[in-house]
């Protein structure tokens, strides 16, 4: 489709990026239910997923309001195609083993904690209110990931190896989370958004402190995958959306 679309409002695009990060993360967390190492961990990851889903709902609802085209949270979550999703690729990768999931949760929640801490003082009242609620939730996600990173990293040879492999596999996708562009820089200058580039230092320093205590190495890599914020995704994204959107698309407008 090459029809000319007017440029969507910058605030819509920014809110959608945050909302898609949360939505896709929630979907991934849901994948652990009934597959966790213990029932208790199923519940913990499920709770984290529900927190993220709540954040996604608030953000997508607000994005729809900003857009003003009559799209609500459901339309944005279930009726967009892959190229219209603006989450960073890190969030869409398969869960992998428990080590990879914890590695991703540690990085993602460290990023989100720094983000929402600052977004609380956004000049946009709605974003500020969403951030004020979310920051308490992601503080717990970060704590959960930290506790597990310490135990797996400083645990057995097997757990240490898997945790390190999880970090190594994740690292090429970490950089994108902290990428800035003109759109977010402009919104940040107006006091509405938080420039992700400013979060790199505080988030990395938290993660590196945890990894050091867990006797894990900060991976080194020259590979940096990017594109999610422009709708370019990995192969895994199509499968994720197929599962997430199937029901809503097979039965349009269905309600409980």
Residues lying near another protein in the complex (CB under 8 A) are found at 38-41, 43-44, 47, 143-144, 147, 151
- Min dist. Cβ of residue 162 to another protein (A): 15
For residues 124 and 59, is the Cβ–Cβ distance under 8 A? Answer: no
- Min dist. Cβ of residue 101 to another protein (A): 16
Report the distance separating Cα 154 and Cα 20, nearest Å: 33
Contacts of 237 (CB under 8 A, 6+ apart): 24, 82, 85, 89, 92
Nearest residue (CB) to another protein, 25 versus 122 = 25
Q: Tokens 């080194």 identify what position?
A: 220
Buried b / exposed e along 93-126 (16+ C-beta atoms within 10 A): bebbebbbbbbbbbbbbbbbbbbbbbbbebebeb
- Min dist. Cβ of residue 143 to another protein (A): 7
Report the distance separating Cα 46 and Cα 99, nearest Å: 17
- Min dist. Cβ of residue 149 to another protein (A): 13
Query: DSSP letter string over 2-71?
Result: ----PPPPHHHHHHHHHHHHHHHHHHHHHTTTTTSSSHHHHHHHHHHHHHHHHHHHHHHHHHHHHHTSS-
- Min dist. Cβ of residue 40 to another protein (A): 4
Q: How many helices (H) and strands (E) does the chain have?
A: 10, 0
- Min dist. Cβ of residue 148 to another protein (A): 8
- Min dist. Cβ of residue 255 to another protein (A): 25
Nearest residue (CB) to another protein, 36 versus 172 = 36
**What token pair was written down for 250?**
């097979």
Nearest residue (CB) to another protein, 35 versus 189 = 35
Nearest residue (CB) to another protein, 143 versus 201 = 143
Nearest residue (CB) to another protein, 47 versus 226 = 47
Rounded to the nearest 10 degrees, the angle between the axes of helix 98-119 and helix 157-170 is 50
Nearest residue (CB) to another protein, 25 versus 146 = 146
Report the distance separating Cα 179 and Cα 111, nearest Å: 12
Nearest residue (CB) to another protein, 188 versus 210 = 210
């Amino acid at each position: 489709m090459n029809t000319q679309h007017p440029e969507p409002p910058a605030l819509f695009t920014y809110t959608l990026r945050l909302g898609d990060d949360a939505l896709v993360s929630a979907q991934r967390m849901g994948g652990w239910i009934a597959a966790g190492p213990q029932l208790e961990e199923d519940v913990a990851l499920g709770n984290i997923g529900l927190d993220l889903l709540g954040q996604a709902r608030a953000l997508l609802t607000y994005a729809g309001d900003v857009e003003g085209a009559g799209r609500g949270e459901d339309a944005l979550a279930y009726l967009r195609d892959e190229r219209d999703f603006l989450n960073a690729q890190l969030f869409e990768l398969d869960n992998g083993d428990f080590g990879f999931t914890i590695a991703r949760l540690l990085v993602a929640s460290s990023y989100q904690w720094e983000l929402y801490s600052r977004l609380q003082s956004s000049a946009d009242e709605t974003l500020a209110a969403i951030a004020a609620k979310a920051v308490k939730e992601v503080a717990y996600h970060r704590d959960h990931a930290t506790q597990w990173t310490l135990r797996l990293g400083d645990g057995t040879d097997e757990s240490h190896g898997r945790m390190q492999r999880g970090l190594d596999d994740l690292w090429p996708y970490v950089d994108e989370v902290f990428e800035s562009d003109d759109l977010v820089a402009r919104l940040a200058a107006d006091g509405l958004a938080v420039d992700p580039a400013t979060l790199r230092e505080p988030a990395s320093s938290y993660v590196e402190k945890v990894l050091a205590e867990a006797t894990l190495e900060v991976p080194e890599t020259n590979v940096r995958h990017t594109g999610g914020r422009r709708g370019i995704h990995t192969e895994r994204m199509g499968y994720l959306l197929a599962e997430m959107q199937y029901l809503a698309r097979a039965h349009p407008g269905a309600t409980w």
